[in-house]
Amino acid sequence: MSTSEALAKAQVVAEVPQEARDKARQLGWEDGLIESALAKGFSLQEVWQALRGNVTGDQAKQFLAGGQMVRPEFKWMKVPTEWGIKARASDPELGLAIGDLNVGTYGDIPDVWYNRTEIARGSYPNPVNEDMGYTIFEKAIVWADCCVPLYEEAIRDRWISATDLPWASLEPLADDIERAVCQVMTEQSDRAYFEGALLSGWLPEISYGYLELKLFLSTVIYDVARHAEAFRKRALANGGGLGLQAPTDYMRSAQEARSYPELINILFVQDSTLLTLFKNGELFAQNQLERDLYALCAKDRQRMMDYQVERLKHYLFKHPERREEQNLYFNKGENRLAKDWTDPVVNEPLAILLGGGKGNIDEGMKKLRAFRKLQVQDYVDALAKATFYRTNLNGRLAEYLAD
């Protein structure tokens, strides 16, 4: 017995869904035709496929009277999309990358994307569709060319906190040092998790035209998720624990963003200063594990900054009339981050680590000031690379630079 026969047998007086009846009426199926198909041993599934395939009432009736089966026409085989694509890995080391797919029309990343559905870029649109509710349809808002290679690099360079860090090598530290490490980890864990959750929430806003950017953002989200748990693991692995939660001023400013340019520019401020922190992690690290941890995070965060710089540059080039407006978002981000930096629970642990202990905290504070200067300098340099020259840098940050 074939599956369809078995199905038909199992199907005691099947209830016919209203949607199927409505569709049948629309196609001119007379009343009772569905029932007579079922009675002849066709499954409801087959009837439904015929309806979805737009088999008319006449065709169905003829077929049920012993006539020719209506064969599917495979219309989708003939849609006028670009055919004959044989993408090959341009860099055999990296493998077949998403960049290798951007050939012919598939590589057209339009300045404005008009389709409001979730259609895959390059496929053939249905004539009538529901709006999926995306809000970002303009390339200049989100795009940077580097997101295409960065996606594959992020995948190549992924790491695993559980096994790629030498947990067994941890040795007890002096209490003040361990607690300082734990406080830094607590703060960074909050910040990383928050950034991941925030960026995740923006994904449904971005239309399919900018697919590669969304793929890249997915790697960023996964990266910061890993940072959040790796920092937490470090805090709980060496006799310490979690300390006080991170200050909320800066993060709230990112949460408050009303548009993607605002969001991403506010994030720029922290993405840049955190990259400097992690890149110089050996200044704060107390052991090999922490050195490795900071170095791995820095590598991940470098990709985010590469994107940040290129996106901003591209955006300003496309929207010179909105250049001044961007200052408002940087003002806000800088202001809130500078406020976070005045918090003793943010400063003191770093100063203890830089100074080498609580007893040496004055020395540590001096070093921290010098380090803040480096962070601000790197940040200003990153903005300049994006052709954005801050004329009104936040006063607190400017003070560090003046040191």
Partner 1 sequence: MAATPLTSSGLDLSWLDLYDEPASATPGKKGLTLKEINLGRYGDAARGKGDMTTRMRGAISRPGAQRFGPNYQSKADVWSENCIMLYEEATQRQWSSARDIPWDTLEELPDELERAMCQLCTMLTEVEFIAGDVPGQWMPFVSAQDFEAGLFLMSQIMDEARHTDVFRKRALANGGGLLAQGAGLGLRTLIEARDFTEMSVLMHVQAEGFVQSMFRMGELIGQTDADKRIFRMSAQDESRHLAFGVMHLKYVLDTEPERREELHHYLDKAEGDAAGGGSGDVTFPPVFESLCILLGGGPDKFDEGLQKFLLLRKRQINEYLHRLEVAGLGDRRQRVGPLFAQFVDPV
Which residues inside 290-349 make contact with partner 1, applying CB under 8 A? 339, 342-345, 347-349
Binding-site size for partner 1 (CB under 8 A) equals 140
Q: Nearer to partner 1 by C-beta: 73 or 325?
A: 73
Q: Which of the residues 62 through 81 are near partner 1 (CB under 8 A)?
A: 71-72, 74-77, 79, 81
List 136's β-bridge partners, or say none. Answer: 206
From candidates 33, 101, 146, 283, binder to partner 1 by CB under 8 A: 101
Q: Nearer to partner 1 by C-beta: 318 or 366?
A: 366
What number of residues does the chain have?
A: 403
Q: Which of the residues 116 through 155 are near partner 1 (CB under 8 A)?
A: 117-120, 122-126, 129-130, 132-133, 151-152, 155
CB of 287 to partner 1, least distance (A): 14
As given in the structure block, the two tokens for residue 31 are 């009343």
In this structure, what DSSP letter does residue 357 have?
S
CB of 149 to partner 1, least distance (A): 11
Q: How many CB atoms lie within 10 A of CB 75?
A: 9
Q: Which of the residues 39 through 58 are near partner 1 (CB under 8 A)?
A: 43-46, 48-49, 51-53
List 138's β-bridge partners, or say none. Answer: 112
Segment near partner 1 (CB under 8 A), from 60-68, 229-237, 305-313, 326-334?
229-237
Q: Please report which residue ranges of 284-322 form alpha helices under DSSP H.
A: 288-318
| DSSP reduced 3-state for 29 | coil
As given in the structure block, the two tokens for residue 160 are 């695993």
CB of 250 to partner 1, least distance (A): 10
Q: Which of the residues 200 through 219 are near partner 1 (CB under 8 A)?
A: 200-204, 208, 211, 214-215, 218-219
C-alpha span between 173 and 176 (Å, rounded): 8
Report if residue 87 touches partner 1, rule: CB under 8 A. Answer: yes
Measured over the CA atoms of residue 305, residue 306, residue 308 and residue 313, the dihedral's sign is positive
| Torsion angle of the four alpha carbons 112, 384, 302, 148, in this order, in degrees rounded to the nearest 10 | 20
